[in-house]
Structure 1
Amino acid sequence: MTTKHRLITDSFKVVKKARRGGKREKRSTPPPPQKEAETDTVRQEELQKLRQFDLDWRFGPCTGISRLQRWERAQLHGLNPPEEIRELLLKTHIDPEYKLSLWSEYPL
């Protein structure tokens, strides 16, 4: 007495669905625009300048205040902070990565 092993596919009819729109051609992905890479490098250079400003002890401590406040305090005390830093901070005052100092993530 041999039993015949049945497969589940023996009980159900195989139905193949037609593709919509026929065969699709593979499209190559376009190369990323160069402007994004250029703006990224500009951003990294600007942030590096701001980090150097944070690390320059001549302009006083930078914990607990924004970079612009530190620049203004240094100017008030006649320490002659770089005007380039002020212009950069005013241009990008909304972005917290520009606004806050290097040490802002550390608790006081």
Structure 2
Amino acid sequence: MTAKRGLITDTFKVVKKTKREDRRDKKPPPPPTADPEPPCLSERETDLQDLKDFDLDWRFGPCTGISRMKRWERAALHMLNPPQMIKDILLKESTDPDYSESLWHSYPL
């Protein structure tokens, strides 16, 4: 005796596809919103970001084991044209270690 074979639809549920016309009636997605403006940074945050960029710029030589002002002066001595803005920031806040020491100051050599 052979077992009666069933239809595939007996095992799997029939799913009807929607017509293309129904898909066209759907609303289009809303246009992407404009990017929100970045938060305004304080003068200190802007200055520290500029100094960090100076530390990470290898055109002015290595920055480990040396203060930012000494590095700036060394770069100027070797005619590497360091940005004058960096020197102005360093002179303005010469006593603050966040300004005077390089990004890598807290890491051991």
- Whether TM exceeds 0.5 here: the answer is yes
Residue 42 of structure 2 is aligned to residue 79 of structure 1: no
In structure 2, the gaps of 5 or more residues are 1-39
Residue 61 of structure 2 is aligned to residue 57 of structure 1: no
Given residue 57 of structure 2, which amino acid in structure 1 is its aligned partner? D
d(CA) in 1 for partners of 2:43 and 2:93?
13
Given residue 72 of structure 1, which amino acid in structure 2 is its aligned partner? E
Matches within 5 A, 1:1-108: 41-108=42-109
Quote the offset at 1:41 in angstroms: 1.1
Q: What is the TM-score with the length of structure 1 in the denominator? A: 0.63
Q: Give the fraction of aligned pairs with identical amino acids, expressed as a percent.
A: 61
d(CA) in 2 for partners of 1:45 and 1:86?
15
State the SS of the aligned residue for 1:81: coil
In structure 1, the gaps of 5 or more residues are 1-37
Aligned residue pairs total: 70
Quote the offset at 1:63 in angstroms: 0.4
Given residue 56 of structure 1, which amino acid in structure 2 is its aligned partner? D
Given residue 70 of structure 1, which amino acid in structure 2 is its aligned partner? R
**RMSD value over aligned CA atoms?**
1.3
1:25 alignment counterpart: none
Q: What is the TM-score with the length of structure 2 in the denominator? A: 0.62
d(CA) in 1 for partners of 2:80 and 2:86?
14
Greater Rg over alpha carbons, structure: 2
2:12 alignment counterpart: none
